[in-house]
Amino acid sequence: MSDAPIPPGQILFLPTPTGYLDATTFPPAGIALRGSGEVLILGGGEAFAARLTPDDMALFGAVLIQLADHHRMTAAEAAQAALDRVVITSGATRA
């Protein structure tokens, strides 16, 4: 068995239950990554593919992490603001 992050002949495809598919099969939409560094984005009858170098993969990963952190922080701030509005509103009606 290979120790590679993506087994030979497979692609990492999100959001499949296992994350892996036969590299010749593509669902109608999603994001796939082959062990060769090829990224595939599928959906809406269109597809995009790019072969990334190891440095490109590292940079792409760093950007995705930063983007995910930003979206998490934005969601947390929005949830806190909504909670603050509820507390202020409920406090104003009791006074």
Q: In this predicted model, what pLDDT tens digit does every residue of 11-28 receive, in sequence order?
A: 888 777 677 777 777 777
Cα distance between residue 29 and residue 71, in whole Å: 22
Cα distance between residue 74 and residue 8, in whole Å: 38
In this prediction, residue 2 has a pLDDT band, given cuts at 50, 70 and 90, of: low
In this prediction, residue 94 has a pLDDT band, given cuts at 50, 70 and 90, of: very low
Cβ atoms of residues 59 and 67 within 8 Å: no
pLDDT at 62 over 90: yes
- Which carries the bigger pLDDT value, residue 95 or residue 11? 11
